[in-house]
Each structure stands twice: as C-alpha cells, then as structure tokens.
A and B are shown apart, each in its own frame.
Chain A
Amino acid sequence: MDDFIAARSQMALSLGFHIIYSCIGMVMPVFMAISHYKWIKTKDPVYKNVTIAWSKGVAIFFATGAVSGTMLSFELGLLWPSFMKHAGPIFGMPFSLEGTAFFIEAIALGFFLYGWNRLNTWFHWVTGVVVGISGIASGILVVSANAWMNSPSGFDYVNGKYLNIDPLKAMFNEAWFSESLHMTIAAFSATGFAVAGIHALMIYRKKNVAFHTKSFKIAIIFGAAAAILQPFSGDISAKGAAKRQPAKLAAMEAYFHTQEYAPLVIGGIPDTAAKKVNYGLEIPGLLSFLVHDNFKTSVNALDKIPVKDQPPVAIAHYAFQIMVGIGTLMMFIGILYFIALWKKRDWFNKGWFLKLFIVATPLGFIALEAGWTVTEVGRQPWIIQGVMRTSDAVTKMPGIQYTFYLFTFIYFTLSLFVIFLLKRQIQMVPELYDR
C-alpha cells in the first residue's frame, strides 16, 4: 500500500471511530442530566436508576473518546507534520480552548461519577450539566478547527509563506457556524436514535418496561427534534459549500456541466470519464433553487474546476446520497414520534412502532459517517482548501501502511470491547436496578 493512501486511510479510520465515541460522549451526559433532574424533582427511583445506568455508558464513552482524541492530537503530527507545522499556529486557537473544555469536562465527570451520596444534590446535578456543556463546547471547537480547513481564513498566503496570522479570525472562519451546527445536531439525532433504539428493543422484549420506557422517552425526544431540525441546517451547509467549495458541492451532487435550471440528481452511478450520471433521477432546476433560491440561476459545475483540483466524485456523491436519504427517513420517523406523543398514544404499545425505532438504531451513525465522508473527501485533493495539498502534508517516514494495519486492528478491537461492555451493562439491568 502506498504511504500516502495509508496515511489517509489511517486518519479516516481514526476520525471515523473517534466521531462515534465523542458524539455519544457529548450527548449522553445531557440525557443523564435530564433524567437526574427528573429524579431530584419526582423522587421516582426509576429515574435514579436510569441516571446511574447512563452515567456508566458516559464513563465508558468518555474514556474511549478521551484516548482516541489523545491519539488524534498526536496523529495530526505523526501523519501530517508539514500541515501541522504551518496550520498549528493558525487554527490552534480552537484546539487550545478545546483542551480547556475537555479538562473541565474530565473534572466535572470525576465529581459526577463519584459524587453520589457525597456531594450536595444540586451541586452534584450541576456537575453533570457541566459535563454535558463542556462536551458540546469541545465538539463545537474541534469542528471549528475542521471548518478552517474547509474555509481557511485568518492569514495571508504569499509566495508559499503564511503571513499576518490572526488566530481568532481563523477560529471564526466563515464555515465554523454552519459546520458546528450541523455536527452538533447530527450528534443529538444519531445518539438519540441509537440510545432510543436499544431501549425500544428492551421494551419490545418486555424487559424492565418502566425503566426502558423512561429512558426511551428522554432519548427520542432529543433524537426526533434534532432529526426534524437537521434538514434546515443541511441547507445552510450546502449553500456555504456552494459559495466556498464549489468543487465539493459539484462532486457531492455529481453535477458535471454548468447550466441554468441546474438539476438535482437523486441516486445514480456517476461516470466521471463520460461526465454523466447513469440511472439517476434528475429534478430540473432544484439544485439552482437550493443554492440560489431561484430555479433559473446557473450553478458552477465540475467543468469549471481543473481536473487536478477535483475531489473523487463517486465517493462524495454516494456518501452524500446516503446521508440525505437516511436524514430524510429519520426526519419522518421523528415526525411520527411527535404525532404519537400528541395524538396517538396507543402507538407506543404497538409492535410496529417499536420495531421502527429498533430498526432505526444505527441509522443516525451511518448518516453521520457518510456526512463526515462528504466533508473530508469532498475537500480533496486539499488538506487546507486551495492552499495546501494533502499529498504535500504527509510525513516522510516510510512504512505507514504497517501503522495503518495496527490502528485498524486496535480500533476494531476497541469497538468490540465497547459493544461487549454495553451488552453486559444492559444484560445486568434487571439485577442492578430491580430493587
């Protein structure tokens, strides 16, 4: 395997796993804090049990998120030393603030996990809330750093030199808000659906129904609300990509020829050589409308971009279709949930309704990975959009393929362990919480 491909694969793999751990690690504390609040207010012991059970999940995901995050902070340098050499001082600001947020999260988590019967009730509750807030803040900060790679600002690039560096301007680059918003909502919807799905399965199997029903409700309200909001945030992101990264937009839409009444292509197999999409469903004018709020206005296509600056069209297009398809499906499931909540209470006891959520368990994370693929693959061949090529950033140390194999093994093992542990946690719910 080529060292460059190996380095990219290792980075993709590391981020692909870290994104799951960290999304769960940042959203579950919020669920935990809500359940904790309900317990303090109602004194219903089921809420306390749910809080404790979830806090164990949080501890597991925080630990795996922390180690995989530590790995990433090193891997950035180990795999892309030339990138970090130049980019570190420019986009380092969100990273240093993230370090602070992460630190506070670790302190608050220490208080929360070990504070039962030891701390003042409300202080204890607040520490849980702080875990959630600082987790979300960390996520927003890290995504802002990634947004800078898509929308570099806060420096002047003159003759290969990075001058007039302004780290604050780099942090608040044009893409930071839309990308952070999209990622945060995605984290809530993916984690909400995943957690709700597992509890739905337990309700379906008639195990500890009271415990799982309360858990299901807290998780799905967030998941469903986020899934309904997500298309709006996606629209903001796509408009931003059209403006700042036309190559990314054109690749994810598999849109080859610049034209008025630009069509939106749904599905299909892009043929890059022939510059067309086979078997896709074309809706004329819709892409123009989505980008410019006008069916006629021309949208720039791949033909405006030199071939050497184009991202891999097929991967970006497939990933984008998967993300949008699943996102739309989740939005409808979310709407169904609220219909059930307000009008059709009896659905909650119906098998088909629970099955719907059981099937939806992994959907959010599939969409999230697909969306991440769109962001990262869509930016290629650049590591800093328009400034530095990924191939110029890679380490000169040979043999990266072996570290890639090693990391692949580690991440898969780690994930198997996490699944094993969660399974045992759920398996023990009757014994631990049926008192």
Chain B
Amino acid sequence: MLYVVILFLFASITLYFLLGGADFGAGIIELFTSTDNKHRTRKTMYQAIGPIWEANHMWLIITVVILFVGFPDIYSEMCTYLHIPLLILLLGIIARGTAFTFRNYDAIKDEKTQGFYNHMFVYSSFVTPLFLGIIAGSALSGQIDPTAKDFVHAYIFSWLNWFSVAVGFFTVALCGFLAAIYIVGETDNVDDIKRYIKKAKVSNIVAAICGGLVFIASDIEHVGLSKWIFGNPIGLTAVIAAILSLVLLWFIISDKKNRQWIRVLAAFQVSMILISVGASRFPRFVIFKGGSSMSLLTDHANVNTVDDLGIGLVIGSMFILPALGYLYYSFQRKDR
C-alpha cells in the first residue's frame, strides 16, 4: 500500500502543477499582457478556467493531506523549517482565490474595485508559484539545517538561497508556458491565436533560461543537480523526452489542427521535468544540510494508517476522477 500512497502523492503534485499551475499561469500571462489586450485575454482565460477553477486547486489539499497523514515526520519538519515560505505561499493562495471569485461575483462591476481585484489576482498569481518552487527547491537542495542555532540560519537560509529561488522562477515560467499553450485552443480569433502562440514561445524561452539558471545555481550552492539527473537512467530518459517533445512542439505549434496535441505535449514536457527530479531523488523527499535526508520509504506513518490511507485514496479517486473528467468534458470549448 505504501507504493500506492506514494503514487498518489506524486500524481497529486503533478496534477496540481499541470492544472493548478496553468491557473497560476493564467494570472502570469495577464500580468505580462499589454493593456490593450488585457480585457479580451482575461475574458478568454475566465471562460476556460471558471468552471474548473476550484477543482484544480484541490490537488494541493490532497497533497498536504497525504503528507500529514502518511508522512507526518516529513510534514512536520517541512512545516518547521520552511514556515516562512509556506506562510507566503498561503498568503498568495488567499489573495488569488478570493480575488478571482470576488472579481466575478461583485454585483457592481466598477473600474476601481475591478482594477483592485485584478492587481491582487495577477501579483498573487506570480508570487504563489514562485514560493511553491522555492519550497520544492528547498526540500531538495540540502540547505535545511536542523542543527542551526540562530533564527536566520534555521528559518531564513533554509529557503533563501540561489538554488531555491532559481527553482521558484523556473516554476513561474513553466506555469506561464502551460497557460499560454492551453489558451491557444480556447479562442477562434486569428489575431489572438497568433498572440498566444507568441506568448507560449516567449514563456518557453524564459523557462529554458530559468532552467539553465537552476543548473548554474545548483553549481554555486553545490546541490549537484546535473549529477542526479544525468546519473539516473529514469531522470536522463525523462529529460531527453522533455527536450524531444519541446522540439516537436515548436514545429507543430502554428498548425491549427494540432491544438489538442500541443496541450498534450506541453503537459508531457512538464511532467517529464517533475519525473526526472522526483525519480532521481526518490525515495528522498527532504534533504538536510550535511546530506542526511527523510525518505518516503522509511519515514512514513505506521502500516495501519498507510493501508487505510491507500484504500481511502483509491476509493476517493473512483468518485473524483470520473466526475472530474466529466466536468472537463462538459465545459470544453465546443459547448460554449
């Protein structure tokens, strides 16, 4: 059952990245859209994510629940040493979730309050994935130091380092990339499609640059990222697959017939990045300064709990996945 739980953990993280991440990306794209086109872009984005908005963010809750029920030691260590970035992440989630709902459900749509909601939405859309990336980077970078004696070393430098921050920006760029790719299929307007394709290409280039920065930062901080990824067969395969899919994506992106395919390719590419990192570090989930780590295979809850959690997740997913699939199906663009 432990492997079932771990599978659900990774699946939830990946789905949160692909679905929730694209929602963040929608805000990021809005942030980097010229004022002339902002209104139309916002409307297209809203039509695309409105119905599935709340569901996309449930994956984070599932992830957290799996962690604190199944891997309580890991959860409590992360909560202690990454308290501050988690807190900022929460602030981002609150600001974003409420701004998105408020701007839609404010009965009076005057410019002043709508402008306020929009600002709140776009900036929190940037900050939230930035800190998600920082948290992920910190868990893996070996900068968390449980032996630290002072506040700054224990609670600040655990996450404020070149590697974590680079991973943060890489995450933001990937979210923007996903959203730009997804949105291409959401409109029939030729000018808009051109604009979105351009956005997708730009955000892809930015993501590639940020990815490069992650490797450079990894060298500065002696994280050894290239060694893990290229030294691990699954990691290496996943990276190669991601690069191949990227090349293919650039070739077919402008072709109208391939709108569904480019989504699949983009999602595939991002999943491969997650898999390459996850696989090369598995079973380690949090790595501390000095090399000790917490492992998904040993630092889990007692067997009874893991079994019950696994059964609960399997049964729960039998309800959730078909319903979620039908939700996506029902609100595809053809129905609008």
A and B associate: yes
Name A's B-contacting residues (CB within 8 A): 56, 59-60, 62-64, 66-71, 73-74, 76-78, 81-82, 84-86, 88-90, 92-93, 95-97, 99-100, 102-104, 106-111, 113-115, 118-119, 165-168, 395-399, 403, 406, 410, 414, 417, 421, 424-425, 427-428, 432
Is B155 positioned at the interface, with any CB of A under 8 Å from its CB? yes
A207 to B: closest C-beta gap in Å: 15
Number of A-B contacts (CB under 8 A): 204
A92 touches B107 (CB 8 A): no
CB distance from A315 to the nearest CB of B (A): 28
A contact residues around B101 at 8 Å (CB): 59-60, 63-64
A-B contact pairs, 11 of them (CB 8 A): A63-B100, A70-B97, A77-B75, A85-B75, A92-B69, A99-B65, A106-B55, A114-B50, A167-B305, A395-B80, A410-B94
B312: which of A93, A166, A398 is its contact (CB, 8 Å)?
A: A93
Complex contact B83–A165 (CB within 8 A): no
Residue contact A103 to B97, C-beta cutoff 8 Å: no
**Smallest Cβ distance from B44 to chain A, in angstroms?**
15
CB-CB < 8 A to A92: which residues of B?
A: 65, 68-70, 301, 305, 309
Which of the 9-residue segments B23-31, B264-272, B327-335 touches chain A?
A: B327-335
Would you call A88 and B301 a contact (CB within 8 A)?
yes
A397 to B79, CA, bound (A): 10
Knowing that A85-B73, A96-B316 touch, tell me 18 more A-B residue pairs with CB under 8 angstroms: A59-B104, A59-B105, A63-B101, A69-B61, A73-B61, A73-B64, A77-B68, A84-B79, A88-B69, A89-B302, A96-B65, A99-B58, A100-B312, A103-B320, A110-B52, A114-B51, A118-B335, A166-B304
> Measured between alpha carbons, how far is A58 from B149 in the docked complex, in Å?
48
Q: Is the interface of B mostly helix, strand, loop or mixed?
A: helix
Q: Is the CB of B80 within 8 A of A397?
A: yes
Residues of B within 8 A of A (CB): 50-55, 57-58, 60-62, 64-66, 68-70, 72-73, 75-80, 83, 86-87, 89-91, 93-94, 97-98, 100-102, 104-108, 151, 154-155, 301-302, 304-305, 308-309, 312-313, 315-316, 319-320, 323-324, 327, 330-331, 335
Chain A residue at minimum C-beta to C-beta distance from B74: A85
Assembled-state Cα–Cα distance A395/B154 (Å): 13
What residues of chain B lie closer than 8 Å to A88, measured between beta carbons? 68-69, 72, 75-76, 301
CA of A424 to CA of B70 in the docked complex: distance in angstroms?
A: 44
List A contacts of B57 (CB < 8 A).
Answer: 66, 70, 106
Measured CB to CB, the nearest residue on chain B to A411 is B94
Give the residues in chain A near B54, CB-CB below 8 Å.
62-63, 66, 106, 109-110
A62 to B61, CA, bound (A): 15
Contact present for B69 and A95 (CB under 8 Å): yes
Cα-based distance from A111 to B331 in the complex (angstroms) = 9
CB-CB nearest 3 A-B residue pairs: A92-B69, A89-B301, A77-B79
Residue of A nearest to B53 (CB): A110
